[in-house]
């Protein structure tokens, strides 16, 4: 029997309707549109405003969309994984809740927390259950409601993040299309530069932690920027080399949308022209686990069977990685 690869066969996505523009942020903190646009490439982000709505509600919309597009029922899903750092609750997992909301009664489910690299990690995990022949249909979601953990008085972080994400269906492929290779890395010593100080077992929530605003994202932007540029470029060129891909062979780069300058640096090291570098950072900002599936969702119509896609990411932890996918279908 020929080798099984895990191929993406359907995509769904979701972003909330409410927009938070750079002009809106000018009213909240000491910043301006020109600074944000030139330093990050971001013009606006989406914010999930409705009370009572959480990460699972966005993921549910995306999963329902991909089921509709693929023409299958939720009961056919074997495994559902959600990459997120903003689950609805500490436990049970967001994936458990999404499975319930979409009616995936026969699926087992769990979350993957790897900050901005979460979706890539989850895709890798999900693909293994397809490649071994254990499962036929695995759904991998990447979603975050970053507005739940962002301090809108801190100009270092509030200009960057937004809410949203996407979901993909993985199925077996016997022609060699799908996920071909990956390089995944982590280095927990980087945690001091990007983390949430309180709310976990180290510092459970107290009045003091709330008053000190420790439940929000803390970031030393300059240091994160330095590590992100070097490491994302490093794994992306590594995956090209070991799969004998020249820049002409790469159809598109789908890089984590944290800062346009970080993406440009990676693309330069891969020697890719601008038209091969997919971007939507200007409309959504950094949705953490959501950026790469949102790129899939936005650009699906452009993809042709056999396209060589390189995914690249960097995030809190630190976590980072790259993946090579041979696209499996012509989108209509
Ligand atoms: N508006 C206006 N000015 C701002 C500002 C804002 N929102 N944020 C910072 N500044 C100021 C700083 O105070 C500093 O002023 P100074 O020179 O008078 O001290 C100046 O702009 C430069 O600040 P710096 O922090 O060096 O900016 P930067 O070019 O590094 O950009 C980030 C800041 C956060 C956009 C950038 O560091 C970044 O993108 N980091 C990585 C983010 C990332 O990838 N995070 C997620 C990983 S998943």
What per-residue string of b and e applies to 182-200 under the rule 16 or more CB within 10 Å gives b? Answer: bbbbbeeebeebbebebbe
Q: Which of 164, 170, 162, 169 is nearest to 59 (CA)?
A: 164
Q: Which of 171, 169, 113 is nearest to 143 (CA)?
A: 113
CA of residue 237 to ligand 1 center, whole Å: 27
Average pLDDT of the residues in 249-260:
98
For the stretch 76-100, pLDDT in tens is 999 999 999 999 999 999 999 999 9
For residue 331, what pLDDT band results from cuts at 50, 70 and 90?
confident
For residue 1, what pLDDT band results from cuts at 50, 70 and 90?
low
| CB of residue 39 inside a 6 A radius of ligand 1 | yes
Q: Taking the CB of residue 227, how many other CB atoms lie within 10 A of it?
A: 17
Average pLDDT of the residues in 32-42:
97
CA of residue 34 to ligand 1 center, whole Å: 13
Q: For the domain bounded by 5-176, which CATH number is listed?
A: 3.40.47.10
For residue 66, what pLDDT band results from cuts at 50, 70 and 90?
very high
| CB of residue 221 inside a 6 A radius of ligand 1 | yes
pLDDT, mean over the chain: 97
Look at residue 14 and tell me whether its pLDDT is greater than 70.
yes
Average pLDDT of the residues in 59-85:
98
pTM for the model stands at 0.96
- Give catalytic status of residue 280 as yes or no: no
Instruction: Say how far apart CA 17 and CA 8 lie, in whole Å.
Output: 27
Going from N- to C-terminal start, the domains of the chain cover 5-176, 180-326
Question: Of 22, 94, 116, 231, which is the active-site residue?
Answer: 116
Alpha helices in the chain (DSSP H): 22-26, 33-40, 55-70, 94-102, 118-131, 207-211, 221-242, 260-269, 281-284, 291-299
Instruction: Say how far apart CA 18 and CA 127 lie, in whole Å.
Output: 34
Tokens of 13: 């996505």
Instruction: Tell me if 5-176 shares its fold with 180-326.
Output: yes
Average pLDDT of the residues in 103-126:
98
- Give catalytic status of residue 158 as yes or no: no
Instruction: Say how far apart CA 15 and CA 196 lie, in whole Å.
Output: 24
| CB of residue 37 inside a 6 A radius of ligand 1 | no
SS3 letters across 129-186: HHHCCCCCCEEEEEEEEHHHCCCCCCCCCCCCECEEEEEEEEEEECCCCEEEEEEEEE
CA of residue 156 to ligand 1 center, whole Å: 6
Look at residue 301 and tell me whether its pLDDT is greater than 70.
yes
Q: For the domain bounded by 180-326, which CATH number is listed?
A: 3.40.47.10
* Helix (H) or strand (E) segment spanning residue 51: none
pLDDT above 70 as % of the chain: 99
Average pLDDT of the residues in 291-301:
98
Look at residue 134 and tell me whether its pLDDT is greater than 90.
yes
Look at residue 2 and tell me whether its pLDDT is greater than 90.
no
Distances (CA, A) of 283 to 47, 66, 249, 287, 328: 12, 22, 28, 11, 27
| CB of residue 228 inside a 6 A radius of ligand 1 | yes
The burial class, CB within 10 Å (0-12 / 13-18 / 19+), for 97 is buried
């Amino acid at each position: 029997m020929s080798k099984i690869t895990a191929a993406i066969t359907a995509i769904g996505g979701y972003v909330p309707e409410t927009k938070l523009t750079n002009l809106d942020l000018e009213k909240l903190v000491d910043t301006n549109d020109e600074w944000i646009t030139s330093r990050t490439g971001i013009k606006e982000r989406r914010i999930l405003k409705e009370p009572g709505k959480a990460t699972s509600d966005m993921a549910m919309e995306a999963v329902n969309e991909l089921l509709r597009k693929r023409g299958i029922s939720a009961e056919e899903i074997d495994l559902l994984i959600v990459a997120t750092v903003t689950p609805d609750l500490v436990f049970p997992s967001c994936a458990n809740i999404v499975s319930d909301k979409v009616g995936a009664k026969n699926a087992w489910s769990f979350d993957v927390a790897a900050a901005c690299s979460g979706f890539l990690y989850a895709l890798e995990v999900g693909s293994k259950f397809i490649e071994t022949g254990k499962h036929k249909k695995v759904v991998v979601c990447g979603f975050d409601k970053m507005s739940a953990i962002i301090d809108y008085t801190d100009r270092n972080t509030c200009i960057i993040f937004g809410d949203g994400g996407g979901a993909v269906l993985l199925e077996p492929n016997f022609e060699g299309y799908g996920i071909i290779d990956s390089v995944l890395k982590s280095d927990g010593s980087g945690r001091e530069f990007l983390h949430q100080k309180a709310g976990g077992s180290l510092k459970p929530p107290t009045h003091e932690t709330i008053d000190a605003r420790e439940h929000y994202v803390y970031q030393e932007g300059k240091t994160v920027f330095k590590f992100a540029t070097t490491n994302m470029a490093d794994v992306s060129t590594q995956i090209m080399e070991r799969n004998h891909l020249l820049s002409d062979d790469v159809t598109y780069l789908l890089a984590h949308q944290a800062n346009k300058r970080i993406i440009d640096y990676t693309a330069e090291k891969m020697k890719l022209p601008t038209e091969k570098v997919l971007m939507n950072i200007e409309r959504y900002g950094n949705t953490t686990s959501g950026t790469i599936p949102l790129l899939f969702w936005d650009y699906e119509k452009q993809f042709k069977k056999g396209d060589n896609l390189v995914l690249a990411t960097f995030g809190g932890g630190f976590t980072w990685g790259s993946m090579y996918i041979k696209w499996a279908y012509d989108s209509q």
